[in-house]
Amino acid sequence: MQVLAAKNLSKVYGSKKNKRYMALKNISFDIQPGDFIGVMGPSGSGKTTLLNILGSIDIPTTGKLLVSGTDIASLSRKALARHRIQHVGFIFQDFNLLESMTIEENIVLPLMISGEKPDEIAKRLKRLTEDLGISALLDKYPYEISGGEKQRAAACRALITNPSIILADEPTGNLDSKSGRQLLKLLEQINQSYDATILMVTHDANAASHCHSVMFIKDGEIYNRLHAEGDKKAFYEEILNVMRTFGGEN
Ligand code: ADP
Ligand code: MG
């Protein structure tokens, strides 16, 4: 079964006639287990809007979203909140770690909220933080660690619930190029060894070339979709070619 199926999703912002803005138009696609999909497109094209809807942070104006076969619209508010915590892991450009909590507290927060047993929390925390190489950071506060380390912690927090899908909105956007490369490697590792399904928005053709496929969005519509077939270098060139047709970004 697909992890996620988007059927004719549209999103209109604003209710007054003159302020209505159609940010997404009739978007349909499926995500299969283990996919690593990139999303690219000019600023303002609707990428974040799409991610927010896929992660049930926001609701579509029309269209349907199925996550692991469940129609999101059929869930009550409470069930939707539970669904989001259990099935979706988010990684944001600006990390979104709580400054008043330690890295450990930040990472386990989703499990605390969903009422997981303490020994299960401890077990998952140990395994994941060892795998992601951040065991030494657990007692530190976000302001005591680097951007790259913060994003590793955020990736750990996203993974700890064993989500059906990880949604990453420009996760390398605030990182220097070395930390950005490390994070991409980490996402690839998460995709391969945990078989995690990932959807990642990025402006960076090189980052996108690590994905299995790339969906291009323009003016709220799917404009093009590329699948990696050859090597990364060839895929990178193909991605650049599509980006050039957008005019000037990169
Ligand atoms: P991207 O992430 O591709 O830069 P967004 O999804 O953030 O694009 O935004 C798409 C369009 O929708 C933009 O024109 C933006 O100004 C508009 N938009 C985004 N969020 C809101 C909102 N909450 N209310 C009204 N308009 C919005
Ligand atoms: Mg955005």
Q: 130-188 pLDDT, tens per residue?
A: 988 999 999 999 999 999 999 999 999 999 999 989 999 999 999 999 999 999 999 99
- Using one digit for the tens of pLDDT, what is the confidence trace for 78-89? 999 888 988 999
Query: Cα(201) to centroid of ligand 2, in Å?
Result: 8
Residue with tokens 């925390």: 125
Query: Cα(10) to centroid of ligand 1, in Å?
Result: 13
- CA 204, CA 24: separation in Å to the nearest integer? 22
Q: What ligand 1 atom has the least distance to the C-alpha of 41?
A: 3
Query: Cα(127) to centroid of ligand 2, in Å?
Result: 32
- CA 177, CA 181: separation in Å to the nearest integer? 6
pTM, full prediction: 0.94
- Using one digit for the tens of pLDDT, what is the confidence trace for 94-105? 999 999 999 999
Residue 29's SS3 state is: strand
Mean pLDDT across 17-45: 94
- Using one digit for the tens of pLDDT, what is the confidence trace for 131-144? 889 999 999 999 99
Query: Ligand nearest 42 Cα, by number?
Result: 1
Residue nearest to ligand 1 atom 26, measured at CA: 13
Residues with a CB atom less than 6 Å from ligand 1? 13-14, 21, 23, 41, 43-49
Sign of dihedral through CA atoms 245, 246, 248, 250?
negative
- Gyration radius (Cα) of the chain, Å: 18
